[in-house]
Structure 1
């Protein structure tokens, strides 16, 4: 009997195991995979269950945004501290109560509300039931429905990647039929040059009879990237590199006015580095010259009537190609054949290469080329059809420009050598004579600043001849002054009415004005008692007239008349940064994203001054009150009265005339008069920390007796409490608050204010660190220079030491002149 019982027992066990394995095989509901929802399971708000992808990058479940009372089903990044959603199921139809169920019913995913009504469904026709159906959250964030025994993507019954919301994930396809990205050039879209040469990301563009789509994939799976569309319609690419806290904005569009569709008229191109931004294509002329001169360039440009036979093509470099609505594509022929075909077709107005990698493929435009822009780096070549005569004239102009450029350069070097030798020999003899005042009419001007044999100014409506300008600190250089009549400025400002007063500084008053054509202007009227003499005034004109950048203020004109020194700028609606940053009412309007964008804009403007402009410029007075904001809160660096030109091989200079604003000046400049690009970097670092904290470096006070803001930031950052110095407005109330991004910016700011100039980064490195989360940031050394109040008692434990102390808290620019 015992043997029979053992046989019976083993048979029962075997039968049970067989039934169990059969159930496991044919009923995936018993699977313990957390990334799969079977046909017999459900997700509810009450059971708080979620589906997690393999690798635990993504998570699907119910959630309720903190500011709302409704529930949603969606997918978010599981490992990112700041909750970031990648997909919504019921975005347009949220659940009104905390009762909701997701399950598989009749071969469909359905979301039911508290009344068991469907608020969202995959809406698939039932079809043939070949096997049980499951829903799976894939490692790439794709939520799919499939037969449980078919893992092939081509066999998916439904997938969330086909129904994106506001986010494009790696592997998700995007239809680019109506997206303003420029044609695909083989590497990227020509309208998005920032995406090129990313070693952790690859792109794929598919064009066939079935689809036209774009996808991107990550070669480094530890780095996350997503492309989003904001509520305002902007495209933004974010990256996140574990173990960071939040996202870093890598690229956004539009970034400037040239990113707006068809910003300029026909046969034009847009370039943010010119003013105005609209320019005629080479060989074309303004259709309406008068409107063009008045900065109304919507009419575009025209060219000589084409003869077809004998026409040629002008090569334009670094262009975003025109709108391709009127384009014809041939994928087989190369660039040479493309030119021949376009030349034979009298309707062909331009052509370009389709694939810049292989040189194969031809794009030809048969209509008017529109929506073109120029990049400093990026874009591709565009060949525009011109009449042979226009083409020859254009080539001759370019040739003449080259010849004139070389001739001018050689002549300038010889002239500079002669003038330098002359002044070197005569400097001692003329030292006293140059300090003698010269009177012209009622105007008294000191010859230390001017040599009237080589100058011209508008005095009492009369032009005094000018050829060259000499300053004790600046090189001799040609001046091109946009002169304006004093009477016109008086009329524009309503006789400098107090009602038009925008602000007042150490150099005088700034007024709002309006020209007869309706253009609004800002008029900077220097006080006759101002510390800024005519020398500094002419220096500002000479510098700013040459500089063209979206983050630099634009000079419209100037006037020197009977003791008056006036600068006329573009009017910027939102005034200066300090009026927003340090005002309790206004600062609440500056969320973190706005402050971050302002910081990036200032950095790019400073980089242009240091490295990308025609002459290297050291600003020497960078501060919050010298950052102006336009209607879109785009920052523009202003006030170049104290700026200096550096040669390309110069690294630093020394001056006995220390100018700038205490609290922003670097230690080597304030103490020893040594200034360089790193002096501006220090000022930028102070400004960055002020933007983050909402507090001035000067006049700073807290209960821990920190002498200034820099000392406070350094102490908190070292103790791991960096976020405590953040402006409470953005720390507690800003929806764009990103802790990790702010901590990175604090570290960058501390790098910029290090004691030794050699330890501070160049602005090119600063811009790179601000714009990329994957760039490593060095560990900063203590800030070596503090300006602030005397502490009540000495704090021997402090890690910072004040080399200069003052109780002054005003923000007026100071000049300290040593005796000669």
Structure 2
């Protein structure tokens, strides 16, 4: 009997352990994931082993696009049912067959192919290894290499976040690291099933007067962000903070970069560049698919050079290209054919004395190639500073927060301007004094309003007088009628 009890006890214990093991292995909240690779370990295609970040959001391993015979080392979202890749190591050096090994060699990560030839490497300068080196997939999707004794991000020997492919993840920086000279850019896949570098890129351009992010198709500039105004990029009003997402732009002696942070970690969001477009995609559980939050280019006014110098694009007007007040079409015939690429010219040249400014609201600021900035000037002195330079054609506030600080100044022609229904910022365009007062359109508009108001008031007065006269006449008639009736009654009594 005691033996049966022992058997039952052991059987019960085994069953309990088995159930517990199944729960650990298959329940997402309880699963134990391996997220590190030591110098004595390796990942191979044949083993099908992967690294999974703490929390189980990201997974690193080998993959083969559908219908392709090439293999890649990459990172994808583990919890999203729709297979979504965030990073590819050897995008332009694929493995030609299913022979591939990822391992640590000295202080480098190396990807070996057939015959142990190096297909991809972190390519760090060799140095004396102070302590064991490990590779780790972090919860935010960053694949890093570090000394096992140092978990501080400043001590990373290498990180995938410094070498983005087509996707910007939360807390990942896009832009220049001025200390290393590295420009972190996004480059599209060649096609939906080919991770190799495509023709569309999104990167920061520091060769302008002010840094701006540019969406390029090859050498052709498709869309630009406009300069950062302290709250948003003037050319992308869609990029505004949400209750679950915070944007950040940094410009100092060490870096010029953009990043975003998720305050709600259960929501996934990514910025991805694909052929001809830049997309903000968001996945909110329990959704089974990514939602398109916004995309660029968005409309007919997004492409650059649609409207030429001193003109701006406005979606609500027809045609979309409009000359700034004080300017007329450079080529009226083409303008009449709704071709605004040649832009507009001044009706009266600037005099360099007595000029003033026309304020345009909700604008994407002009291209900053000819712009300069003074970040500490009092905004009240912006107009004075611009007027003191005969070549200054326009200015805008550099940082619009807290009443404004600093100014952006343009010299030369103003190009690539558009007007938004909401967003953008004020642009002050310099005009000759003769054109400031003119506003033939504005004058006609005001005159028309005055005339209309005067006519309306006059008509109302005339109608009021006529109604009053008619009313008095009716009153007299009614009074006469009453008197007549009284007299008639009196006569009948007699």
Q: What is the TM-score normalised by the length of structure 2?
A: 0.74
Partner of 1:219: 263
* Deviation of the 1:197 alpha carbon: 4.1
Q: SS in structure 1 opposite 2:96?
A: coil
Partner of 1:123: 123
Map 1:324-723 → 2, pairs under 5 A? 324-358=368-402, 359-394=404-439, 397-398=441-442, 400-402=444-446, 404-405=448-449, 408=452
The whole-number CA distance in structure 2 between the counterparts of 1:193 and 1:225 is 18
Residues 344 and 217 from structure 1, CA distance in 2 versus in 1: closer, same or farther, beyond 3 angstroms?
same
The whole-number CA distance in structure 2 between the counterparts of 1:252 and 1:355 is 25
Instruction: Verify the 8 A CA contact 2:241 2:247 in the aligned structure 1.
Output: no
Residues 275 and 126 from structure 1, CA distance in 2 versus in 1: closer, same or farther, beyond 3 angstroms?
same
The whole-number CA distance in structure 2 between the counterparts of 1:360 and 1:321 is 17
Instruction: Verify the 8 A CA contact 1:335 1:352 in the aligned structure 2.
Output: no
* Deviation of the 1:171 alpha carbon: 1.2
| Residue of structure 1 aligned with 2:364, choices 320, 326, 343 | 320
| Residue of structure 2 aligned with 1:275, choices 305, 318, 340 | 318
Instruction: Verify the 8 A CA contact 2:34 2:52 in the aligned structure 1.
Output: yes
* Deviation of the 1:410 alpha carbon: 9.0
Q: SS in structure 1 opposite 2:434?
A: helix
Partner deviation per Cα, 1:683-706 (whole Å, 9 max, x = no partner): xxxxxxxxxxxxxxxxxxxxxxxx
The whole-number CA distance in structure 2 between the counterparts of 1:74 and 1:413 is 75
Partner of 2:112: 112
Partner of 2:174: 174
The whole-number CA distance in structure 1 between the counterparts of 2:230 and 2:459 is 50
Partner of 1:40: 40
Instruction: Verify the 8 A CA contact 1:323 1:369 in the aligned structure 2.
Output: yes
* Deviation of the 1:277 alpha carbon: 1.4
The whole-number CA distance in structure 1 between the counterparts of 2:143 and 2:72 is 15
Partner deviation per Cα, 1:731-782 (whole Å, 9 max, x = no partner): xxxxxxxxxxxxxxxxxxxxxxxxxxxxxxxxxxxxxxxxxxxxxxxxxxxx
Instruction: Verify the 8 A CA contact 2:63 2:74 in the aligned structure 1.
Output: yes
Partner deviation per Cα, 1:617-655 (whole Å, 9 max, x = no partner): xxxxxxxxxxxxxxxxxxxxxxxxxxxxxxxxxxxxxxx
* Deviation of the 1:300 alpha carbon: 0.8
Q: What is the TM-score normalised by the length of structure 1?
A: 0.45
The whole-number CA distance in structure 1 between the counterparts of 2:391 and 2:43 is 61
Higher relative contact order (CA 8 A, sep 6+): 2
Map 1:193-272 → 2, pairs under 5 A? 193-230=237-274, 232-272=275-315
The whole-number CA distance in structure 1 between the counterparts of 2:111 and 2:46 is 14
Partner of 1:192: 236
Partner of 2:470: none
Partner of 2:97: 97
Partner deviation per Cα, 1:473-510 (whole Å, 9 max, x = no partner): xxxxxxxxxxxxxxxxxxxxxxxxxxxxxxxxxxxxxx
Instruction: Verify the 8 A CA contact 1:187 1:356 in the aligned structure 2.
Output: yes
Partner of 2:337: 294
Partner of 2:63: 63
Partner deviation per Cα, 1:82-122 (whole Å, 9 max, x = no partner): 00000000111111111111010121001111221111100
The whole-number CA distance in structure 2 between the counterparts of 1:125 and 1:412 is 83
Instruction: Verify the 8 A CA contact 1:334 1:353 in the aligned structure 2.
Output: no
Partner of 1:657: none
Partner deviation per Cα, 1:216-251 (whole Å, 9 max, x = no partner): 111111111111110x23111101111210100011
Q: SS in structure 2 opposite 1:269?
A: strand
The whole-number CA distance in structure 2 between the counterparts of 1:41 and 1:152 is 23
* Deviation of the 1:33 alpha carbon: 6.3
Instruction: Verify the 8 A CA contact 1:240 1:248 in the aligned structure 2.
Output: yes
The whole-number CA distance in structure 2 between the counterparts of 1:388 and 1:128 is 71
Q: Kindly indicate which of the two structures has a greater share of residues assigned to helix.
A: 1
The whole-number CA distance in structure 2 between the counterparts of 1:181 and 1:173 is 16
Instruction: Verify the 8 A CA contact 1:173 1:214 in the aligned structure 2.
Output: yes
Q: SS in structure 1 opposite 2:272?
A: strand
Once the two structures are overlaid, the 10-residue window that deviates more, 79-88 or 125-134, is 125-134
- Which ranges in structure 2 are unaligned for 5 or more consecutive residues? 1-31, 176-203, 206-212, 215-223, 461-494
The whole-number CA distance in structure 2 between the counterparts of 1:252 and 1:336 is 37
* Deviation of the 1:207 alpha carbon: 1.4
Q: SS in structure 1 opposite 2:93?
A: coil
Partner of 1:75: 75
Q: Give the alignment's Cα RMSD to 1 decimal.
A: 2.1
Residues 66 and 152 from structure 1, CA distance in 2 versus in 1: closer, same or farther, beyond 3 angstroms?
same
Structure possessing the higher radius of gyration over alpha carbons: 2
The whole-number CA distance in structure 1 between the counterparts of 2:450 and 2:171 is 52
* Deviation of the 1:391 alpha carbon: 0.8
Q: SS in structure 1 opposite 2:228?
A: coil
Instruction: Verify the 8 A CA contact 2:52 2:60 in the aligned structure 1.
Output: yes
Residues 403 and 305 from structure 1, CA distance in 2 versus in 1: closer, same or farther, beyond 3 angstroms?
closer
Q: Kindly indicate which of the two structures has a greater share of residues assigned to strand.
A: 2
Residues 405 and 126 from structure 1, CA distance in 2 versus in 1: closer, same or farther, beyond 3 angstroms?
same
- Which ranges in structure 1 are unaligned for 5 or more consecutive residues? 1-31, 417-820
* Misfit runs of 4+, over 3 Å: 405-416
* Deviation of the 1:346 alpha carbon: 0.8
Instruction: Verify the 8 A CA contact 2:166 2:273 in the aligned structure 1.
Output: yes
* Deviation of the 1:413 alpha carbon: 12
* Deviation of the 1:189 alpha carbon: 0.7
